[in-house]
Amino acid sequence: MPINNFSIHNKDTYYNRAKKEGYRARSVYKIQEIHHKFNIFKRAFYILDIGCAPGSWLQIAKEQAIKNLKKYDDQYYSRNEYKIMGIDIKHVTPIESIEIIQSNITDTDIKKRIIDYFDDKLDLILSDASIKKRGDKFTDHLNQIRLCYEILNLTKLILKKKGILVLKCFQGSDFKIFFDDFKKEFHITKSYKPKASKKKSNEIYLIGIKKK
């Protein structure tokens, strides 16, 4: 018997809440929860979202950046504008005042496009990017780890000193090795699984605060 996707969504509290509140996906509550716990959007004006489809994290990033323009209008680190870019291999419906690029994060020209857009002043990188799962947990885990290394290496080049990275990873055999390498790049690191993540999922989010 075929699975009725509507019935599944109808029973998903986060899906229904997102639809009611005008967000594009239930994943919005993952980043909200991470922010409430680790304050990742504090003084974040220039934000990059990797794996941004369908755009719910971009929606939150824009909300927070606009708030920050008013909240942090002081003599410390502040700006008179925000810049947000989203990158995904899938098409993403445009959002006003946000630059969206349909591209693979590993493409050769993407680093230059990011640097040119943010002018070396990138405050926060969000990544909910995920490989296309094949159903084999071991293979999927290793492929996700490879993607995480690609993003971490890119972060070393484009994220400003003391910037923040939120990165989705998969738990498994190579997780500890990757997390140890992740820790080398930040003064403060945490791993966290939001309540909005599905219970059966092996996803976990790594939070790097104050890039070295």
3-state DSSP assignment of residue 99: strand
Burial state string for 173-182 with b = 16 or more CB within 10 A and e = fewer than 16: ebbeebbeeb
3-state DSSP assignment of residue 165: strand
CA 116, 121, 123: angle at the middle one, nearest 5?
125
CA gap 82, 58 in Å, rounded: 12
> Among all residues, which ones are annotated catalytic?
168
Instruction: Check: CB of residue 150 under 8 Å from CB of residue 172.
Output: no
Instruction: Check: CB of residue 122 under 8 Å from CB of residue 162.
Output: no
DSSP state at residue 75 = S
Left, alpha or beta for 124 (phi > 0: left; psi -120 to 50: alpha)?
beta
CA gap 128, 168 in Å, rounded: 5
What does the longest C-alpha to C-alpha distance in the chain come to?
63
